[in-house]
């Protein structure tokens, strides 16, 4: 496959081929003798919210790290906007990373900066915007996540839910095309989880983009996702529209999405 001038893939006879925003092809990854990803394939739906579910230790966070270019696959391809991120040079990879917003589990805020400066950080680092422009954007984002009156506070002075919202504001501040969430609901009570889910839906509605959430919360998956992927033993065992996933006849998918103890998944 070759890439046309506008980045659209073109097949050898000239017909444009569909390029996904984000795709992984036959990705393998081992740590020592431990095989984590064993030929993972996923074409993420563009401009949609996909949730990835799967048992603990099955490689969901490892997948996120591959997508954002923090881990290199042993084999296979990570395609972002139709380009294999390990076949481009470091400078291009760096440019591609700017099109991502990532919300890590604990918000990954800098403890030495207040919420305003944490949110402003990507703009100050990656753009040549003046402080007035930065202030306007950051204030807008903090308002959207309900933190406009806490912008002067430091991460250790606010609740876990507020840290997540601040992390979300920071993830969105560069208008990313892709937003990755690694367990956004971890450590939140059910009401805060539900409010955060509403916020994710509202922000996606407003700004669009290809969103990927990794979660253990089945209710979150049902509420926010357009598509659900289920990973087990390093492979995708199901990927499709949310309702289809929840009606899957596959015994593992059924067990996992219903949280049932009976089924192929045990404690091992």
Ligand X SMILES: Nc1ncnc2c1ncn2[C@@H]1O[C@H](COP(=O)(O)OP(=O)(O)OP(=O)(O)O)[C@@H](O)[C@H]1O
Min separation Cβ 54 and ligand X, Å: 6
Strands 2-3 and 9-10: antiparallel
Whole-angstrom distance, CA of residue 41 vs CA of residue 44: 10
Q: What's the min distance (Å) between Cβ of 164 and ligand X?
A: 16
Q: Which is nearer to ligand X, 36 or 115 (CB)?
A: 36
Distance CA 259, CA 268 (A): 16
Tokens encoding 248: 């899957």
Please report where in the chains the tokens 């990755």 appear, as a residue.
Answer: 180
The residues of the shown chain that bind ligand X, judged by CB under 6 A, are 31, 36, 54, 56-62
CB of 31 to ligand X, least distance (A): 3
DSSP letters along 7-45, please?
S-EE-TTS-EE---SEEEEEEEEEETTEEEEEEEEEEPP
SS3 letters for 137-179? HHHHHHHHCCCHHHCCCCHHHCCHHHHHHHHHHHHHCCCCCEE
Rounded distance, CA 239 to CA 41, Å?
10
- Residue 55, token pair as written in the block: 């048992």
- Of 58 and 220, nearer to ligand X (C-beta) is 58
Residue placing its CB nearer to ligand X in the complex, 114 or 220: 220
Residue closer to ligand X (CB basis): 67 or 158: 67
3-class SS of residue 182: strand
- Tell me how crowded residue 87 is: count the other CB atoms within 10 A of its CB: 11
Q: What is the DSSP letter of 82?
A: T
- Name which of 26 and 140 has its Cβ closer to ligand X: 26
Q: Cβ of residue 23: shortest distance to ligand X, in angstroms?
A: 19
Q: Which residue, 58 or 242, has its beta carbon nearer to ligand X? A: 58
Degrees (nearest 5) of the Cα angle 220, 224, 227?
105
| Cβ distance to ligand X smaller for residue 145 or 188 | 188
The CB-of-34 to ligand X minimum distance in angstroms stands at 6
Closest approach of Cβ 191 to ligand X, in Å?
A: 23
CB of 10 to ligand X, least distance (A): 35
Distance CA 228, CA 175 (A): 24
Instruction: Give the nearer residue to ligand X in terms of CB position, either 4 or 57.
Output: 57
Report the nearest approach of ligand X to the CB of residue 45 (Å).
21
């Amino acid at each position: 496959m070759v890439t046309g001038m506008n980045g659209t893939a073109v097949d050898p006879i000239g017909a444009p081929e569909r390029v996904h925003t984000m795709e992984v092809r036959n990705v393998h990854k081992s740590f020592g003798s431990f095989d984590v990803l064993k030929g993972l394939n996923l074409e993420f739906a563009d401009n949609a919210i996909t949730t990835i579910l799967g048992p603990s230790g099955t490689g969901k966070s490892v997948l996120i790290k591959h997508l954002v270019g923090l881990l290199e696959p042993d084999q296979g391809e990570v395609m972002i906007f139709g380009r294999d991120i390990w076949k481009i040079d470091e400078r291009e990879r760096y440019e591609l990373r700017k099109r991502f917003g990532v919300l890590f589990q604990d918000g990954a805020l800098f403890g030495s900066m207040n919420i305003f400066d944490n949110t402003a950080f990507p703009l100050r680092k990656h753009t040549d915007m003046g402080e007035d422009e930065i202030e306007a954007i950051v204030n807008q984002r903090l308002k959207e996540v309900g933190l406009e009156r806490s912008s002067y506070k430091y991460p250790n002075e606010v609740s876990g839910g507020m840290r997540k919202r601040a992390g979300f504001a920071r993830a969105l501040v560069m208008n990313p095309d892709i937003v990755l969430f690694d367990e956004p609901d971890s450590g939140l009570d059910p009401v805060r989880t539900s409010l955060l889910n509403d916020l994710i839906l509202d922000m996606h509605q407003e700004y669009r983009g290809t969103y990927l959430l990794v979660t253990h919360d089945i209710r979150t998956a049902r509420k926010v996702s357009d598509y659900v992927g289920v990973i087990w033993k390093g492979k995708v065992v199901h990927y499709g529209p949310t309702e289809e996933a929840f009606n899957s006849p596959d015994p593992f998918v059924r067990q996992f999405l219903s949280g049932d103890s009976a089924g192929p998944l045990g404690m091992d």
